Amino acid sequence: MTTDHKAILSFTDGTPSVEFPMLKGTTGPDVIDIRKLYAQTGKFTYDTGFLSTASCDSTITYIDGDKGQLLYRGYPIEQLAVNCSFLEVCYLLYYGELPPESEFKEFEQLVIHHTMVHEQMQFAMRGFRRDSHPMAILTSLVGSMAAFYPDSLDINSPEQQDISFVRLIAKMPTMVAMSYKYSIGQPYIYPKNSLDYASNFMHMMFATPCEEYTPNPVLVRAMDRIFTLHADHEQNASTSTVRLCGSSGTSPFSAIAAGVACLWGPAHGGANQACLEMLEQIQAEGGLAKVGEFMERVKDKNSGARLMGFGHRVYKNFDPRAKLMQETCREVLDELGLGNDPIFKLAMALEKIALEDDYFVQRKLYPNVDFYSGIVQRALGIPTSMFTCIFALARTIGWVAQWKEMITDPEYKIGRPRQLYTGHPERAVHGKRSRA
């Protein structure tokens, strides 16, 4: 990582200039190592939103926002989404290599045999209102894993790290399906060990005790691909939350629960729900005839309207996942005979208009992963309120892999940013204001 180059910082306030080493990664922007800045100058950097800050070094995922490139452990997302199953991608993200066939079969069986949750978990659910948002329930269920699995809380034990990894990716589909079943008043469906990962999830979501349910293989493949497309995305808001939370040494279940909570926000993982609600609202207001009016509102800063599913902090080109999601969307709609779905047609019209509109072109706003994911999930029968739960299910592997990378880094420290204080200078409390 080290290079011969340095960054020299000089000041006009009399502070002596200082030099910082420049570090170079495998690819992507070089970084200025400013870890000694405060000790050498008594000054902080200031970067709210972390627009120019690398919070760590990582070997897991690389994004080139200008090229629209996304690599998991060096493999392009376009190749993984077409050639690998989500569970193979989980193995890749956690262990660093795609699994040999024999090892994958063993890994798959290990995950399958951890898909049931503790039987008491259903009683933790009973306290929730039936109309609770599934993400509120899921945040609690993931956090409760620290209570149900106290035998894997030692973050310094490689064996306990690995069993927590398996428990999290194995039980997320079960907990997501339980959150859904609870919200519609149906009985929970236990996992079936004869089914693959995505089939098992769809079975737990849509089967009932009253009749056989056989998932459509085209829809299962689409579900599996949706998981892969959402698996990891370097230091996004929820992953950074997991790293910061996990840096205190708390359990992986608690750190991942913090990630679930962060993902729920509409600026982040909640955008898929917000995007479909936006499309349905435009459709209700008149559909394509109303698109121009809506776009004018989006461009009017005072309206507060945003084209949900568009824009990205890193991608200033097409989000490669959006293209793959659009293909998956078309496959699913064709399989279901919904090729003329008005919402899909509206989304494609919006995308075309936005890509030709100066406001979006100047700001390099392109469709992101959330723009089509809501349409395809709705076609798969997943209710809008569950979209972000699906995102959380898939992103769990990214969160766990990044958490593992952090806690096994011998140089890691608890994260503790500083601030620019702009409050009152010291002042005195006059007189006694309350009786002690």
Residues annotated catalytic, as ranges: 312, 370
Q: Report the C-alpha gap between 8 and 118 in whole angstroms.
A: 56
Letters for 190-209 (x = contact with ligand SDX by CB under 6 A, - = none) are: --------------------
| Least spacing, CB of residue 395 vs ligand SDX, in Å | 7
| Least spacing, CB of residue 136 vs ligand SDX, in Å | 19
Q: Is 89 in the site for ligand SDX (CB under 6 A)?
A: no
Q: Is 402 in the site for ligand SDX (CB under 6 A)?
A: no
Label residue 284 exposed, middle or buried (CB < 10 Å: 0-12, 13-18, 19+): exposed
CB 398 within 8 A of CB 232: yes
Q: Is 306 in the site for ligand SDX (CB under 6 A)?
A: yes
Helix (H) or strand (E) holding 19: strand 18-23
Residue from 68, 99, 143, 309 touching ligand SDX (CB under 6 A): that is: 309
Q: Is 178 in the site for ligand SDX (CB under 6 A)?
A: no
Q: Is 295 in the site for ligand SDX (CB under 6 A)?
A: no
Q: Is 325 in the site for ligand SDX (CB under 6 A)?
A: no
Residue placing its CB nearer to ligand SDX in the complex, 189 or 346: 346
Letters for 261-280 (x = contact with ligand SDX by CB under 6 A, - = none) are: ------xxx-x---------
Q: Which residues contact 111 (CB under 8 A, 6 or more apart)?
A: 87, 90, 166, 169, 170, 197
Residue whose C-beta lies closest to ligand SDX: 311
| Least spacing, CB of residue 300 vs ligand SDX, in Å | 10
> Applying CB under 6 A, which part among 30-38, 98-106, 108-116, 366-374 lies near ligand SDX?
366-374
Q: Is 298 in the site for ligand SDX (CB under 6 A)?
A: yes
Residue from 108, 224, 370, 405 touching ligand SDX (CB under 6 A): that is: 370
Q: Is 320 in the site for ligand SDX (CB under 6 A)?
A: no
> Applying CB under 6 A, which part among 15-23, 144-152, 364-372, 427-435 lies near ligand SDX?
364-372
Residue from 53, 363, 381, 409 touching ligand SDX (CB under 6 A): that is: 363
| Least spacing, CB of residue 68 vs ligand SDX, in Å | 12
Q: Is 365 in the site for ligand SDX (CB under 6 A)?
A: yes
Q: Report the C-alpha gap between 415 and 172 in whole angstroms.
A: 27
Residue placing its CB nearer to ligand SDX in the complex, 200 or 238: 238
Q: Report the C-alpha gap between 235 and 383 in whole angstroms.
A: 28
Residues forming the site for ligand SDX (CB under 6 A): 233, 236, 267-269, 271, 298, 306-314, 363, 365, 368-370
